[in-house]
Structure 1
């Protein structure tokens, strides 16, 4: 591997000259003199210790090495240009960065984002969903809404909602005896052992079956008729409303607590306050 990279300016000069087939045209495009382009090419060739162009008077043509380097250089410059343009998203004056779990983003937040946009059209919400709890002190995140949060330095912490869990399945499975229904297994509170201890009701759950680490996928699988599952009351509101999910019993048990972390730099941000108020109001709406 090269210990030192050639100057970026020489690669830009080379790419323009190779693409246009002319040092003069490259100089015009880059607002340089032709001698400056020639010097850049000579410097790059000296660095690589091989010629990149055949020179015949004012006309130039790429050597085999030049053709090889051109494809690499164009890919590099294109990737660099895209990366630099992408940095513009960090400069949006009305941007609000929210971290949450994929399950909450897909099953609770997404169905309600239209309402948020109607109420706060000026907020550029950046939804950053991760399985891992973010480190708010080192990541550029204004707010985090998750069911696996604890207090962090430089952040305010507030419990927003105490979730409830219940066993459910697709309506098509209700005609089957409980022992014949496939069982879907989740993690943490959504493991059936939690139901057995808290509720003590046998709904035909079996020890074997499909296993899911993501409660959102667990809910999707139940709605698709793959089996019965212990699901979140908060996340399943839409599935219950559209008829793709039916409770097996009326009993519910305690689930995880959904909490809000707000970075101290965002506590007085009007955008963050607007989202927090909207979030609290919607979480308090009967599910």
Structure 2
């Protein structure tokens, strides 16, 4: 890491002059004088201790070092411009930032977002998905809905739904003999060892098969007919209703708890309250499989 960086203005002047092949045109584009552009580039060359341009009268062309620096500078300025434009989302007056897992967003929230928009068109919802649990105290997040989260400082914590798990597969897999069904393995509660301990029922699961770290991808694999998986009752509800999943047995076991974290700065925000209320209403009675 460099201890001292050249001024951003000198890099902008260099990029414009190199791209346009003219100090004069660069000055016009940046609304500066030609002498200012010349001074910026001289300062940059002094910092780098090597020339960036060949100068011949009013004509300039890049040295090999200048060509190298141009590609780096253009990539850096482009990335900086994208990052600055992205900050505009934080200035939206009705912005509500929701953090959740990719699995919850894809399998539960996305099919219901149309209903939320119809009820609350004023909410400019930004869905921020991460595999890692966010730090609500240091990140710009209003709400978090996750199955891997616990209480955090500066936040209210509420368990919304106690999930259940059950073994399921696509109807086409169900029609196969048990020994021909591929077993799909997941992590945490979706691991078959959890089913063996909690239910003790042999549904033909095997130690070998396909393995997934993402519970959403595990569910996608089961829906696609790749094999038999231990899936979330909550996340698989839509697939069950669409006839894409069929339970192997009518028995379920305890799954993770889905909880809501609300940052204290957002607790009394009408936008956050609108989403929290809608979420609570839609999670009531979610899942219809019988419990053990």
So what's the TM-score if we normalise by structure 1? 0.91
- What stretches of structure 1 of length at least 5 have no aligned partner? none
- 79-88 vs 267-276, greater mean Cα deviation: 79-88
Partner-residue secondary structure (3-state), 1:44: helix
Number of aligned positions between the proteins: 287
Task: Provide Cα deviations, 1:73-113, integer angstroms capped at 9, x if missing partner.
Answer: 22222222222222212222211111111111111011111
Give 1:50's aligned residue: 50
Instruction: Give the whole-Å Cα distance in 1 for the aligned partners of 2:76 and 2:198.
Output: 58
Task: Provide Cα deviations, 1:45-100, integer angstroms capped at 9, x if missing partner.
Answer: 22333333333333333333333332332222222222222221222221111111
Instruction: Give the whole-Å Cα distance in 1 for the aligned partners of 2:130 and 2:5.
Output: 35
Give 1:258's aligned residue: 258
Give 2:71's aligned residue: 71
Query: How big is the shift at 1:168?
Result: 1.1
So what's the TM-score if we normalise by structure 2? 0.90
Instruction: Give the whole-Å Cα distance in 2 for the aligned partners of 1:60 and 1:129.
Output: 48
Give 1:198's aligned residue: 198
Task: Provide Cα deviations, 1:13-67, integer angstroms capped at 9, x if missing partner.
Answer: 2222222233222222222222222222222222333333333333333333333
Question: For residues 7 and 178 of structure 1, do their structure 2 counterparts lie closer, same or farther at Cα, with a shift above 3 Å needed?
Answer: same
Query: How big is the shift at 1:286?
Result: 4.6
Give 2:290's aligned residue: none
Give 2:144's aligned residue: 144
Instruction: Give the whole-Å Cα distance in 2 for the aligned partners of 1:164 and 1:110.
Output: 20
Partner-residue secondary structure (3-state), 1:176: coil
Instruction: Give the whole-Å Cα distance in 1 for the aligned partners of 2:2 and 2:248.
Output: 65
- Paired residues for 1:262-273 under 5 Å: 262-273=262-273
Instruction: Give the whole-Å Cα distance in 2 for the aligned partners of 1:145 and 1:182.
Output: 32
Query: How big is the shift at 1:149?
Result: 1.9
Give 2:21's aligned residue: 21
Query: How big is the shift at 1:200?
Result: 3.0
- Paired residues for 1:227-238 under 5 Å: 227-238=227-238
Instruction: Give the whole-Å Cα distance in 1 for the aligned partners of 2:40 and 2:184.
Output: 64
Give 1:31's aligned residue: 31
Coordinate RMSD, CA, aligned: 2.0
Give 1:155's aligned residue: 155
Partner-residue secondary structure (3-state), 1:160: strand
- Paired residues for 1:47-196 under 5 Å: 47-196=47-196
Instruction: Give the whole-Å Cα distance in 2 for the aligned partners of 1:159 and 1:62.
Output: 62
Instruction: Give the whole-Å Cα distance in 1 for the aligned partners of 2:196 and 2:46.
Output: 75
Query: How big is the shift at 1:136?
Result: 1.4
Instruction: Give the whole-Å Cα distance in 2 for the aligned partners of 1:66 and 1:207.
Output: 59
